[in-house]
Amino acid sequence: MEIQELQSLFARSPRVKALGRMLVDNSPGNITLSGLCASSAPMVFSAVGSACPQAFSKPFLFILDDEEQAGYFYNDLNQILTGGNTQDNFNTNAVCFLPSSFRRAVKYGQRDAANEILRTDTLTRLSTGRTPLLAVTYPSAMTELVVSKQQLNTNTLPLSKGQNIDIRDVHKKLFDLGFRRTDYVYEPGQFALRGSLIDVYSFSCEHPYRIDFFGDEIDSLRTFDVENQLSIDKLPEIQIVSQLTSSSEQCESLLTFLPQDTIIVTRDMTFLKQEIQRIWDEGFGMSAQISSTDENNPLDKLQTLCNPDTFNQQITNFKTILTGNYNQPDIQSYTDAKSNLKFNISPQPVFHKNFDLLTTELKKYQEEKYKIYILADSQKQTDRLESIFVDIKAGIRFIPVSRTLHSGFIDHDSKIVIFTDHQIFD
């Protein structure tokens, strides 16, 4: 069984359908979801796209508590939604990650070139306004100012398959954008011209592009591997972006940059605001100021970070979904919500390879008519588990699922058990 089939099962849930209707509703008001845990949140939001495709006509920005949680959430969304298949109402470029430009913490001021490429890629996708689009980020990435849409458009060369354009015009435009001509491309900012081919390494993609011309028409667009020169993906269109070096006058907050109909999803709005304030208060340390040699991107928090007061005001302009478990009725962000949905989900227990304990747990759910699914990236793992159950005469029946998530869970309303192999064998 493929993991996308699990998504279809969750799409039948009355709560998932209700969430889809809330998202399509354009009236103001926030939404709270309680009871979500483990990897159930990415599963629920993925299922919304199947249950109510119109809900994905708006972009989503998922703000996790930190970089690690954001990475897990991003990988789970990718596994469920784009796991090798393009679905009817989805595409493989819809899930993207917006990291911080800095290694470790913002205050150390150590820029990460790979992360800057990912940021530019996500900003480019957001600027197009195309959906579906699910962007995943975290507070230290949120607090960084971004280049304005106008400046991004000025630094972007869009090309599409079948487009009529002279190869010499593309050559000139790349020079104008600051790209350097080389024999072979191996890092962002370079391009190479060989006959009817142009190889160009954009600052918005982890792999370089190969543009193949037939006369004055673009015949094909592909990404390729720098090491072996082999093609990776064929593309209908590309956005070539030059290095974004902007003064503070050309920068704006991410919330200004986002499309106005973006839906923001976060666990706890109070925590998010506190993190934005903390990062602002820390600013850049003295060692970061001394080691900085980039005159175009000075390490001045006024020119680099979003003011917390600005952030707090701007975020009220967006429809927000809160996924934290609120037990205190006086929490303002909870009581201000227009709609509340409660899920009855619990996390996968810890077994530490104790198969007797695992058997007892699964037998309990099996007797209560739960469907049991065990997720693994390798079929050998589920075969191994099945052999163990046979050896100990457990009598457990489960459905193996190709591809896994970060952490398993049990949905008691839908009577579905989703366990991951790595948590069982950990």
pLDDT, position 325? 65
Which CATH number is 156-241 given? 3.30.2060.10
CA 216 to mean position of chain CA atoms: 37
pTM value is 0.90
d(CA 100, CA 105): 9
Tokens in use for 220? 């094909």
Say how many C-beta atoms besides its own lie within 10 A of residue 343's C-beta.
23
Q: What is residue 109's predicted lDDT score, i.e. its pLDDT?
A: 78
The per-residue pLDDT for 90 is 55
Q: Which residues contact 260 (CB under 8 A, 6 or more apart)?
A: 317, 318
Is there a shared CATH topology between the 3-149+250-342 domain and the 156-241 domain?
A: no
Helices (H) and strands (E) in the chain, counts: 17, 22
Q: How high is the pLDDT of residue 328?
A: 46
- Give pLDDT, residue 72: 98
The percent of the chain in helix, strand and coil, each rounded to the nearest 5, is: 40, 25, 35
In this structure, what are the phi and psi dihedrals at residue 30, rounded to the nearest 5 degrees? Answer: -90, 170
Which residues of the chain are modeled with pLDDT < 50? 84-89, 290, 327-331
pLDDT for 159 equals: 97
Q: Reduce the DSSP state of residue 347 to 3 states and report it.
A: strand
pLDDT in tens, 144-154: 999 999 999 99
- Each domain of the chain, given as residue ranges in start order, spans 3-149+250-342, 156-241, 345-425
SS3 of residue 402 by DSSP? strand
The pLDDT assigned to 86 comes to 39
Burial level of 250, CB count in 10 A (0-12/13-18/19+)? middle
Element (H, E) at 376: strand 371-376
- Amino acid identity at 134: L
Give the tokens for residue 347: 């996390």
CATH number of 3-149+250-342: 3.40.50.300
